[in-house]
Structure 1
Amino acid sequence: MKNVFCIGELLIDFVAEKQGNDLAKANNFTKKAGGAPANVASAISKLGGKSYFIGCVGKDPFGTFLINTLTKGQVDVSLAQRSDTFTTLAFVSLAEDGERDFVFSRGADKELTYDRRLSKLFKDQIVHFGAATSFLGGSLEDAYLRYLQEATTNNSFISFDPNFRADLWKGTENIFVQKCIPFIEKSHLCKFSLEEAQLLSGKQNIEEACSFLHQLGTKIITVTLGGEGTYLSTPSIQKIIPSIKVSPVDTTGAGDAFIGCLLKQLALATNLDTLLSNSGPLENMVQLANKAGAITTTNYGAIEPLPTQQQLDQL
């Protein structure tokens, strides 16, 4: 089984306890471990895979809480870094009109520095780039790009999830698109939401969007469609893989559970060319990943509801 290295942010999500109000009216918040790459690493480990988290948190109690959370979930944090800068925080609520109210206080995640030791560790393994904050500057952005080069030259299987956050890119979406292109060009697998696929391609039609993104270089595209399932696109497959029916209570982390489950299965695969030429195994992988994402929505939070392999096997 290949190791999966997940690079990016690990942060505190302060979630307003009383939903339906904007943050100005929220009084009580629940502390949750967050950050898409950390969620993906946790999903992989919970399913019995081997994941590493590469990111930076502060030398403060919140940073310690986050590292302890990943360690408890059997994610390898030996490559994580600690900074004197305070741990990154996010405050989230759902307003009455259904729009998310979001305040982001960026801190230690931007302090991640390049570690030359990773070059040898990446060889023939899986490297997942899934940081929402990776293109916002700081040494993280430089390290992110250098790790892409290292993964490319070391025959890594490269996975990319842009994790677009509209709140962070208002008025500068074109900059976000340009920064994503090198990763789409080099990745074997890209996971997009429908909004991301449309933004990055400039196409509204999902088939046209995927065709454009394939032309940039990526071979496998998954576009998550919520309860409808996932649109899978490769040189030989273009179809929706349906999901299972659940009663969702919190969709936080569903996409991370999906890509984590898919990467765990890919860590067991031996030949990418076989997956691309024979649609069956890859379709089955996506179908199982859909189940992982669906299960995660049936409880609150991003890490706690992640399914075990036993839960998936029982479905």
Structure 2
Amino acid sequence: MGALLQMTGPVVDLVYNVTALPLRGQEARCTGFAMCSGGGFNAMAAARAAGQRVVLGGSLGSGPLADRVADDLARLGIETARPRLSQDQGCCTVLLEPDGERSFVGYPGAEGAVRAENLVQIDLSGVSQVLLSGYSLHYPKAARALVDWVAALPNTIMLAFDPSPVVHLLDADLLRRVLRRADWVSANASEAAGLTGKDDPQVAAKVLAQDRQGALVRMGGDGCLLAQESVQPIAPHAVDPVDTNGAGDTHIGSFLAELSHHGDPLRAARYANIAAALSTLRQGPATPPDRNAVEAIFNDDKAGQRPSLNQETRS
């Protein structure tokens, strides 16, 4: 089982629980607040919870926010592939509504700075998977160097691409180059429609899977679609979500880890659905369940001991 190399850097999330989003010029009423590592950290935490070795290839800075992230990386046993930069980590304001929906306002710090000379420091020994998010392609001081680097990856290393909510803002040429190299694409339904121009998620999933190993389209309450030679709906796991922030990242990290474990995309997609759903039962962006909790449900479902479920968290 090889390591997952995450090329999208972490940020610090400032999470405000709000009763509703504020109107323009008004202030939201807050019922809670938390500061925690997020961004690229979320998928790494999920892959670690599923038992995979994880290395951060994205940028980690120096300063109070970066130190918080560094502590969380160390706590999970996540290694860093290159030296820390001299600027602090960026942060993201998250407005979390009572139904678990979340809205973001962010600005990059060290995670938005990647140069070609930084990337040559990365040792690919033992790396079997690389994960890249569209957020990194949105950073002017990181995008081109990252695209050049992933385009030159050995074919023996699988590249997974998460287009992210900023996909419509990305440079079209850079996006094409990443999609040309990507072995897997994992997107929510809205992102998949934006990438393909197809509003039907099944059609979009089929388009995304062309000329690569496969694609996932995360369908929120309807589970996900796994597209390879055909498109297969993967049943969701029913929960009453408390906080959906980071659920899509949990899905991606869990899928990649389980794929590395067993090499079976169908099993990995089922595992990811359960892990993402369970992650929404706790407050915070990086709350993946441990492997034992997911496998207990997975094995029950496989044995036919649980009824068919038709509800899951949004991605």
Same fold (TM over 0.5): yes
Partners of 2:240 and 2:98 in 1: how far apart?
21
Partners of 1:261 and 1:290 in 2: how far apart?
9
Task: Specify whether residues 85 and 201 from structure 1 end up closer, same or farther in structure 2 by C-alpha distance, changes over 3 A only.
Answer: same
- Which amino acid in 1 is paired with 2:91? L
* Aligned match of 2:270: 287
* Aligned match of 2:15: 15
Give SS of 2:276's match: helix
1:47, 1:308 within 8 Å by CA — same for their partners in 2? yes
State which of 126, 130, 148 in structure 2 corresponds to 1:127. Answer: 130
The more displaced of 121-130 and 67-76 is: 121-130
| CA deviation map 1:200-229 (0-9, x unaligned) | 1111122332333334x3330100011211
Partners of 2:44 and 2:102 in 1: how far apart?
25
* Aligned match of 2:76: 73
| CA deviation map 1:95-154 (0-9, x unaligned) | 799985533222211223332143x5167611111252332210x213311321232x35
* Aligned match of 1:278: none
Task: Specify whether residues 96 and 34 from structure 1 end up closer, same or farther in structure 2 by C-alpha distance, changes over 3 A only.
Answer: closer
- Which amino acid in 1 is paired with 2:73? L
TM-score by length of 1: 0.83
**Residue 91 of structure 1, CA deviation:** 1.2
Partners of 1:56 and 1:26 in 2: how far apart?
34
| CA deviation map 1:162-214 (0-9, x unaligned) | 1123xxx7xxx364555322222211111010001100111112233233333
TM-score by length of 2: 0.83
Give SS of 1:148's match: helix
Partners of 2:234 and 2:99 in 1: how far apart?
31
**Residue 294 of structure 1, CA deviation:** 0.5
Task: Specify whether residues 186 and 122 from structure 1 end up closer, same or farther in structure 2 by C-alpha distance, changes over 3 A only.
Answer: farther
Partners of 2:265 and 2:79 in 1: how far apart?
27
- How many residue pairs get aligned? The number is 291
**Residue 20 of structure 1, CA deviation:** 1.9
Partners of 1:130 and 1:300 in 2: how far apart?
23
Partners of 2:213 and 2:41 in 1: how far apart?
25
Give SS of 2:187's match: strand
Please, which runs of 5 or more residues in structure 1 have no aligned partner?
271-280
* Aligned match of 1:309: 291
1:122, 1:150 within 8 Å by CA — same for their partners in 2? no
* Aligned match of 2:94: 92
Partners of 1:101 and 1:39 in 2: how far apart?
16
RMSD: 2.6
Task: Specify whether residues 56 and 240 from structure 1 end up closer, same or farther in structure 2 by C-alpha distance, changes over 3 A only.
Answer: same
Tell me if 1:61 matches 2:43. no
**Residue 19 of structure 1, CA deviation:** 3.8
Please, which runs of 5 or more residues in structure 2 have no aligned partner?
298-315
- Counting aligned pairs with the same residue, the percent is 22
